[in-house]
Chain A
Amino acid sequence: MTQATGPVEQTQADQSTVLESLRTRLADLKDEPGSLLEALYIAQEMLGYVAPESIEIISEELGYPEAHVFGVVTFYTLFYTEPQPKHIVRVCRDLSCHIAGATKIAARARQEIGAHPGHASADGLLKLELVSCLGQCEKQPALMVNLDVHGPVTEEEVTDLIRSLREEDQ
Chain B
Amino acid sequence: MPELLAVNKNLFVEDAWQLDVFKGTGGYERARRALTEMSPEDLIAMMEASGLKGRGGAFFPTGMKWKFVRADPNTPRYVIANGDESEPGTFCNRFNMELDPHLFIEGMIIAAYAVDSHFGYIYIRGEYGRAIERVEQALADCYADGILGDDVLGSGYKLDLRLRRGAGAYICGEETALFNSLEGKRGNPRFKPPFPTNSGVWRKPTVINNIETFACVPLIVENGAEWFQELGEGDENAGTKIYCLSGVINNPGVYELPMGVTARELIYEYGGGLPEGRTLKGFKPGGASAAILTSEQLDVRLDPSIAQYDTIMGTGGVIVMDETVCMVDAAYRDALFFEEESCGFCIPCREGTPNLVQILERLMHGQGVMADLQLMEEIGDSMASSFCGLGQFAYRPVVGAAQKYRDEFVAHVEGSCPAGSCAIANN
Contact = CB atoms under 8 A, between A and B. Distances in A.
B167 A133 contact: no
Interface string A127-170: 00000111111101000100111000000000000000000000
Contacts of A96: 88-89, 246-247, 252, 319
A64 B334 CA distance: 36
B86 interface: yes
Nearest to B132: A1
A16 interface: no
A132 B321 contact: no
Contacts of A78: 126-127, 167-168
A99 interface: yes
Interface string B149-164: 0000000000000111
B165 A38 contact: yes
Nearest to B125: A135
B88 A33 contact: no
Given A38-B164, A79-B167, A95 B89 contact: yes
Given A1-B133, A4-B129, A72 B184 contact: yes
Interface in A70-111: 71-72, 75-79, 93-96, 98-100
B164 to A, nearest CB: 7
Provide the main secondary structure of the chain B interface: mixed
B187 A75 contact: yes
A120 B330 CA distance: 29
Contacts of B93: 135
A84 B334 CA distance: 29
A34 B88 contact: no
Interface in B103-160: 125-130, 132-133, 136
A93 B333 contact: yes
Nearest to A77: B168
A71 B186 contact: yes
B233 interface: no
Interface residues of A, number: 40
Interface in B236-254: 244-248, 252-254
A37 B167 contact: yes
Contacts of A47: none
Given A1-B165, A38-B164, A71-B186, A95 B87 contact: no
Given A79-B167, A94-B333, A138-B91, A99 B248 contact: yes
A136 to B, nearest CB: 6
A35 interface: yes
Contacts of A144: 127
A40 interface: yes
B270 interface: no
B85 interface: yes
Most chain B beta carbons < 10 A, residue from A40, A72, A133, A147: A133
A36 interface: yes
A124 B248 CA distance: 37
9 closest cross-chain pairs (CB), A and B: A36-B184, A77-B168, A76-B167, A133-B88, A147-B129, A78-B168, A96-B246, A94-B88, A137-B246
Interface of B: 85-91, 93-94, 125-130, 132-133, 136, 162-170, 181-187, 202, 244-248, 252-254, 284, 288, 317, 319, 321, 325, 329-330, 333-334, 336-337, 340-341, 343
Interface of A: 1, 4, 32-38, 40-41, 62, 64, 68, 71-72, 75-79, 93-96, 98-100, 132-138, 140, 144, 147-149
18 contacts: A37-B164, A37-B165, A71-B186, A75-B187, A78-B168, A79-B167, A94-B333, A95-B288, A96-B89, A96-B252, A98-B333, A99-B321, A132-B170, A133-B89, A137-B246, A137-B319, A138-B252, A140-B246
Given A33-B183, A138-B245, A140-B247, 15 more contacts: A4-B167, A37-B164, A94-B288, A95-B319, A99-B248, A99-B330, A132-B337, A135-B85, A135-B94, A137-B89, A137-B91, A138-B254, A140-B246, A144-B127, A149-B130
